Amino acid sequence: MSFRRGAVHPYKPVLQRPGQSLQRLIVSADPLNESSLPVVLGLQVVGRNPDSLLSVRLDGHGWAVITTIEQVIKSRLDEPAGVISPGEQQAVDNALRAALDL
């Protein structure tokens, strides 16, 4: 399976925690995603608006929560459920820049 920046994947956690999202938005650069590393960087995608300036609405998927950036084990991801639009990707990039002071 290939992993691309901007793809939303169903996520299969080793241990499910109450309230944990089961979707991840891949935010790492494609050279990292295509590498032999066992992880990518992702954001949790939640179904309800978290009422945070550091969340981005993703049409048809929910809300990407910027403060949930994490390593995601590639083998825990299923086939992508979709890809976000260029405008949504720009909004995610801007929110990441704001959160990380880049």
pLDDT mean values, one per 10 residues, the chain (102 residues): 96 85 96 97 95 94 96 96 98 95 88
Q: Are 82 and 4 in contact (CB under 8 A)?
A: no
- Write the single-letter amino acid at 94: N
* DSSP code at position 75: G
Give the pLDDT confidence score for residue 1 in this predicted structure.
85
Alpha-carbon distance of 84 to 72, in angstroms, equals 18
Topology given in CATH for the domain delimited by 7-100: SH3 type barrels. (2.30.30)
Burial of 56 from C-beta contacts in 10 A (0-12 / 13-18 / 19+): buried
CA-to-CA distance for 93 and 87, rounded, in angstroms?
A: 10
- pTM of the predicted model as reported, rounded to 2 decimal places: 0.94
Q: Where are the domains of the chain?
A: 7-100
Mention every residue, 6+ apart, whose C-beta is less than 8 A from residue 13: 20, 22, 76
